[in-house]
Chain A
Amino acid sequence: MKYTVALVGNPNSGKTTLFNSLTGSNLYVGNWPGVTVEKKEGDVKNTTENITLVDLPGIYSLAPYSMDEIVSRNYLLDDSPDLIVNIIDASNIERNLYLSTQLMELDCPIIGVLNMMDVVEKKGISLDTESLEKSFGFPFIKISAQRETGIDELIQMITKNVKKKEKRQMPRIFPLEITTVLQEFDALIQKQHPDVLSNYPMAFRSVKLIEKDEEVLGKISKSTDLLEDINRTRKKIETISGHDVDSAIADYRYRFITKSVKNATKIVRENTDHFQEKLDKVLMNRFAALPIFFLFMFIIYYVSITLVGELTVGGITWFINDILIVNVTSVLGNLGAEQWLIAMITDGVITGVGAVLTFVPQLVVLFIFISILEDSGYMARVAFMMDRVFRRFGLSGKSFIPMVVGLGCSVPGIMATRTLENERERKLTAVLTPFISCGAKMPIYVLMASVFFQTNQTLLVFSLYITSLVVVFVSGFILSKTWFKGADSGYLLEIPPLRVPKLKNTFTQVWQRIKEFLVRAGTIIFAASVVLWFLQSYTLGLQPVESADQSMLASFGMIIAPIFVPLGFGNWVASVALLTGIAAKEMIISTMSVLLSGTEGGFTMALSQVFTPVSAYSFVIFVLLASPCMAAIATMKKELGNWKDFIFALAYQLGLAYFVALIIYQVGSRIFG
């Protein structure tokens, strides 16, 4: 028998960490039919049963306001899992249990997992799980996902509970009078409107109908009879509670929670350690917060680009050119390989793949920094800091989070826009996130900087990031008043406590990103390097060329090259590189190294014949702003959801890139000659 267990909890409750602990290394990302949102799924380890764990997006309630919430809720309602594992951040227990009171209405067995117990105990607070079980009607267990304590006990508990079929009696959350009203309403629905959502759990159906939940109302044919019944019940609740229905229901839930938590909490000792609060005061000081943020960003790019670059790039390039290629050539030569085969392997594969691999150490360091930013809780603080600024440009502070994620890769960045409630802001952020330079574009800047701007390398790369921020703001301002016009959804954001990131988490995340990069190097870039080498080594008549200018790739590149003449890089090498860059951004340097390999004086020499400093700058600006790679384009299409917005977004990104690069080249070449 195969069981399904859903992992549900608030954002920031440690869900992903727990998911990884429970499933071990079996993790994979699955695309589910019908819903365009990725859920993670894995098998629970160390158990005698066959249990699949489904990781749902983190949510605060079952209200249908963001895509994340709708996805989680629809999954719980339609796929009815055998068990809900409700992860609760015990250091923020009241707010976390609010979701639990809603999950209780779903008629599905629940286990309450009190996470971050180490933090709670450090604060000198003890929680009584039996008392909580008595109040809530389902069992609780204490764990710390980060320290991996209580995991084995939790697995045993899941194994035991997943097989139980009998229903538990759920406790009464609302006062008796309200419960009576709800029961009467439910009886009325069953009698008068038996076909209304008959497959939904009773308690959930009644509450959602009375709350006039838009998703639920959208699923039924709204007969005037039913609406009248709903309104009559709402009136009753308002009379009893003295509040409107929405605040009454939320209020009752919280009262129930406050009472239950109070019964279960014991303060063992007063805690005096306030280090995190002090650190927060410094980082978020009204005057120092912004300078500190920019200092962090500068340090990140200085360390990963300049420091690590100086240490590694030279060595790796030397190894590839002077050791690998020389030895491979001589070994293959001794084996009697044909000249063309040797050239294909050295000038094609090794040069193309090698050009990308050269930058792996720098990317590793960049990804480590981004992962630390994500885990430490600093990201929410930056959103808080920037909200006022972003609001002026038609976005909210929350838009900043997808953009910081986008510094690593645009794909997860664009997907992170799902946490934005407002459709207009979500789409706008999805269109703007690719303007934030992703990790795969970084090697291009570094390469160009090292050839054309030897002094001030960090400054040049940093100027690109500033440019992309300016473009985001200006575009946000323009688009929010034209294409993506509409009301703003407001801003409400939890500020999590600052946490020391866990090394293991950082490594997992960095490794996953680097692995993707390496897989691309071994597949797409490997294959493309061979094809490119072939296309540039032979003429249209399949004759070997004397110089690459006569190759069929050159003839093709020359057709599109005129488009880029006004931007200063109207040559076939740059044109072909930009085209292959659509597959993956790091292809741009692979392509250029393959195309320019064998030129006298080496790659650097060859590059300075193709570009001038001004046209090199115009080229990197174009690469920075033009539409992202295939994967990000596909993600953007998925998130925008329709062709109209998608085609507009592509046209906007390409048009803007062309326009900005044009200005830079035309103005720059007149100033610097």
Chain B
Amino acid sequence: MFTLKDLRPGQKACVDSIMVEGIMRRKLMDMGVTPGVEIEVNKTAPFGDPIEVKLRGYALSLRKKDAQNIIMI
């Protein structure tokens, strides 16, 4: 099992499930992070966190704390 946080820039995988809790969970889904969607990691911020990913044709940034709770397949 691996998570979105484990992906290096340039790698991609599909979302299996979202284990994030609370409001952030709903917000992620509103932004298109739903089971089955393909996500590619673009880059990491200068200080090592957050990360920028590409999904559904646009770029989204999120913290590693949340990325490690998004299970990928």
Per-position 1/0 for A354-393, Cβ under 8 A of B: 0000000000000000000000000000001101110000
**Chain B residues within 8 Å of A254, by CB:** 32, 34, 37, 56
In the complex, how many residues of chain B place their beta carbon closer than 8 angstroms to a beta carbon of chain A? 35
Within 8 A of A (CB), among B22-36: 23-32, 34-36
Judged by a CB distance under 8 angstroms, whether B18 is at the interface is yes
Q: Which of A377-421 contact B (CB under 8 A)?
A: 384-385, 387-389, 397, 421
The answer to whether A494 and B25 touch across the interface, beta carbons within 8 angstroms, is no
Q: Flag if B46 contacts A92 (CB, 8 Å).
A: no
A491 touching B35, Cβ below 8 Å: no
- Cβ-neighbour of B31 out of A289, A388, A492 (below 8 A): A492
In the complex, A385 Cα to B52 Cα: how many Å?
A: 10
User: By the criterion CB–CB under 8 Å, are A93 and B43 in contact?
Assistant: no
Q: Is A490 located at the chain interface by the 8 A CB criterion?
A: yes
Closest to A61 in B: B30
How many Å from the CB of B19 to the closest CB on chain A?
11
When the two chains form their complex, are residues B61 and A95 in contact, meaning their CB atoms are under 8 A apart?
A: no
Interface size class of A (residues with CB under 8 A): 35 or more
Task: Tell whether B62 is near chain A: CB-to-CB under 8 Å.
Answer: yes
- B26 contacts A63, C-beta separation under 8 Å: yes
Take A93-B57, A94-B57, A495-B60 as given contacts and tell me if A384 and B52 are in contact as well, using a CB distance cutoff of 8 Å.
yes
Count of chain A to chain B residue pairs whose CB atoms are closer than 8 Å in the complex: 109
Note all chain A residues with C-beta closer than 8 A to B28: 492
Residue from B18, B52, B58, B65 with most neighbouring chain A CB atoms (10 Å): B58
**Could you tell me if B46 and A94 are in contact, using CB atoms closer than 8 angstroms?**
no
Q: Are A246 and B29 in contact (CB under 8 A)?
A: yes
> A28-41 vs B: 1/0 string, CB under 8 Å?
00000000000000
Please tell me if the beta carbons of A384 and B23 are within 8 angstroms of each other in the complex. no
B56 lies within 8 A of A495 (CB):
no
Contact in complex: A495, B18 (CB < 8 Å): no
When the two chains form their complex, are residues A384 and B66 in contact, meaning their CB atoms are under 8 A apart? no
Q: Given the known A-B contacts A63-B26, A246-B25, A246-B26, are A286 and B44 also in contact in the complex, defined by CB atoms under 8 Å? A: yes
Which 3 pairs from chain A and chain B are nearest by CB?
A250-B29, A388-B47, A495-B59
Q: List 8 A-B contacts (CB under 8 A).
A: A65-B26, A95-B32, A385-B45, A387-B50, A490-B63, A492-B60, A494-B58, A495-B60
Given contacts A489-B23, A494-B60, list 7 more A-B pairs with CB under 8 A: A94-B57, A98-B30, A247-B35, A250-B29, A254-B34, A421-B27, A492-B27
Chain A interface (Cβ within 8 Å of chain B)?
60-61, 63, 65, 91-95, 98, 243, 246-247, 250-251, 254, 284, 286-287, 289-290, 384-385, 387-389, 397, 421, 489-497
B-side residues, CB < 8 A to A, are 17-18, 23-32, 34-37, 43-50, 52, 56-63, 65-66
